[in-house]
Amino acid sequence: MDKIKYLSRIKLFDGLELEQLQKLEPVTPLNIIRKNRMIAFPGELQKRLFLIKSGVVRLYRISSTGKELTVDLLGSGHIFGEVGSFTTGTEHLYAETKEDSVICTLDKDQFEAIVMRHPELGLKFIEMVSSRLKEMEEMLEMLAYGSIRQRLLYLLHKLAQKFGRALESDGDWLQLEISMTHQELASMAGSIRETVTEQLNQFVSEGLVRKAGPRSALLLQPERIRKAMHNSV
């Protein structure tokens, strides 16, 4: 495993010189974690910070009835967890790998040593956490006050930003590089599967979404989705 290459692709370490990355290598352990493995849960005694190099992590909570409610999906470069007084707002959530993933884990001492050596990373960490908390606040506001159309448009917009890949044959469309069932979309949008399926069919007729087949990835038209979000406010 080329650890320096992996570290350079984590957003927190983006922009560091090769020499700086080489100094970080001994204190930033990377682990290959297989699909559907639990890696964090509420009340865990050992607090850690997780930095996703590759793969996808699902954050979810469990309702009083035992139902799993997906809160977010995080991909390459994202951070979650907590160390000491630093938190990313995910301390009350479960986290599991949605696919095979490479993840860097830091405990409190390791994180503090890195920040002491590279103070600029502390500022960058705060910026990343602030951005994530803002996104969570926006989604909570949507869940509280938005229609299912607004919530689903916002969710697809965010998924396109995180996991969208431009199609070589048609640059106006993005293909989601993760598989999403209608039930998972419904869970994240605070709705039910039947309603989400109906709304997605409406999006298809509007030219916002395409799907080649029942098991194929979603194709999104980001600019049209953005305009539809604006017009739905």
Q: Both 86 and 169 in a single domain? A: no
- The SS3 assignment for 91 reads coil
The H or E element spanning position 113 is helix 108-117
Quick one: which of 11, 46, 6, 48 has its CA closest to 30?
6
User: Model-level pTM greater than 0.75?
Assistant: yes
Quick one: which of 9, 176, 158, 199 has its CA closest to 99?
176
Higher pLDDT, 57 or 22: 57
Q: Both 37 and 109 in a single domain? A: yes
Q: Which CATH number do you get for residue 191?
A: 1.10.10.10
Domain hosting 128: range is 3-142
Residue type, 212: A
Q: Which CATH number do you get for residue 92?
A: 2.60.120.10
Query: Residues 97, 46, 84, 71: is their CA dihedral positive or negative?
Result: positive
pLDDT in tens, 48-93: 888 888 899 998 888 888 888 888 898 887 888 887 666 777 778 8
Last residue of a domain, one of 85, 107, 142: 142
